[in-house]
Amino acid sequence: MNKISHFVLDYYNKSVVSEIMKKYAMNEMEAANAFLTSQTHAMLENADMAMWEFSAYAILDIWESEQITGDPRNSIHLRSEL
C-alpha cells in the first residue's frame, strides 16, 4: 500500500477532526480517536484509493456513513452505481 504524503494527511486529520468536534460536541481526543481509528481514515491513508481528491467535507460525509452503516463504502461518494 502506498501512503499519501504526511502533509496531506495532516490537513485532512485537522480538518475532519475539527468538524467532528463541532458537529458532535466531542472533545479533541474523542474526535481524533473516532476518526483516526476508522476505516475511512485507513482508506484515506492509502494513496492508491485517491481519496485525497475529495474535499474534507466529503471525507467527513464518508466517515459519517461508516458510523451509521458500518461501512464507509456505503457513502454516496464511493458507491459504484454513480
Q: pLDDT tens digits for 5-57?
A: 999 999 999 999 999 999 999 999 999 999 999 999 999 999 999 999 999 99
Strand partners, 3: 46
pLDDT band at 81 (very low <50, low <70, confident <90, very high): low
DSSP assignment, residue 4? P
pTM: 0.92
> Can you give the length of the chain in residues?
82
As a whole number of Å, the end-to-end CA separation of the chain is 26
Please state, in angstroms and rounded to a whole number, the distance separating the CA atoms of residues 16 and 72.
15
